[in-house]
Amino acid sequence: MPTRTYRPIHVGTLASGTELILPMHEIVGDRSGPTVGISAGIHGEEATGVEIVYQFLRRQDLSSLAGRLLVLPIANPFSYAAVSRGTPIDMMNLNRVFPGNADGFLTEQLAHKIVEGFLKHLDVYVDLHAGGSTPTVDYVYIINAEPLSRAFGSRLLYRPKETLMGTSISVTRERGIRSVVVELGGGRVDQSAYVDRGIQGLLNILRTLEMLPGSPADPPSQVALREIVTLRPHHGGLLLPEVTTMGGEVRSGQVLGRIVSPYSLQELEAVRCPFERGVIVLTHLTPSVVEPGIYGFMIGNLATAEA
């Protein structure tokens, strides 16, 4: 049987006297194999990934595991508790400060500890993100491990020209660690279908790596996008979405949603599809109170996508 060990990474003591730790779990199989790291909650408001990890470790039979899993269910406990994208004490975005700084701001110290205690030790890395408190998202990045990204099983994939500086992936890619970034779920809708897909996706990756018996599920017919635009509204107010089918097609000029003022009762802005043929990567599935500059919609360009 695999051995399971709780290996918390100690970060420091807070003014409240609380110890700030990163809750890392290690599962070592009886047979040899690669070390796969799974993290969630780098952005604390993306709680779906955290639930995927929890349910995966609770439900999945790992008795015949080969190799080793290092799992960080909540990479930023503070921002998770506050349901916030940034770390409350310094309001920095953890996924913009990697590889961190041992002597820097708290968020930079956190990133440094994650690199030293977790990322450095991996052969394969899966990072789970989600849409956040109000938007819902559904795609997987192709970074440097296309077969693993495809194996996860989402229909939409994204091959960016470059990866953002300061992300955990910028560290693993530089070290040649095969990396998959998943964007799945979020928003004020039932998350259970996303959680189920996340569990299946992790299983598919581990089966592709032959760390668990059985064949990975056949992925759906997939579209690899080369271009995704993020549409951030210029006004705050009540966002009334008009496109609520994840992965659905939209046409040039089509209204994706409207920002209205519940004060003046007027429409402040209509957000429209900028591409001739677009596909919905991120949207709001329910009316939501928003501020200017939030993730309103993400639309992929089907004209430049790989078939």
CB of 95 to Zn ion, least distance (A): 6
Q: For the chain, give the number of residues.
A: 307
Q: Among residues 46 and 51, whose Cβ is nearest to Zn ion?
A: 46
> Can you list the alpha helix ranges (DSSP code H) found in the chain?
47-59, 77-81, 106-117, 146-152, 168-174, 192-208
- Comparison of 137 and 212: residue with beta carbon closer to Zn ion: 137
Phi-psi label, residue 231: left if phi above 0, alpha if psi -120 to 50, beta otherwise: beta
Residue with tokens 């501020």: 291
- From residue 30 to residue 49, what is the string marking binding to Zn ion with x (rule CB under 5 A)? -------------x--x---
CA angle centred on 157, ends 184 and 249, rounded to 5°: 85
Tokens of 141: 């990045």
Q: Restricting to residues 121-180, name those near Zn ion by CB under 5 A.
A: 129
Closest distance to Zn ion from the beta carbon of 46 (Å): 5
Number of shown-chain residues binding Zn ion (CB under 5 A)? 3
Please work out, in degrees rounded to the nearest 5, the angle formed at the alpha carbon of residue 239 by the alpha carbons of 236 and 243. 145
The residue among 65 and 119 lying less far from Zn ion, judged by its C-beta, is 119
Q: Which of residues 71-110 bind Zn ion (CB under 5 A)?
A: none
User: Judging by DSSP bridges, how do beta strands 237-241 and 255-260 pair with one another?
Assistant: antiparallel
Nearer Cβ to Zn ion (43/112)? 43
Q: How far is the CB of 52 from Zn ion (least distance, A)?
A: 13
Q: Give the shortest CB-202-to-Zn ion separation in angstroms.
A: 17
Shortest spacing between CB 186 and Zn ion, in angstroms: 9
Which residues sit at the interface with Zn ion, rule CB under 5 A? 43, 46, 129
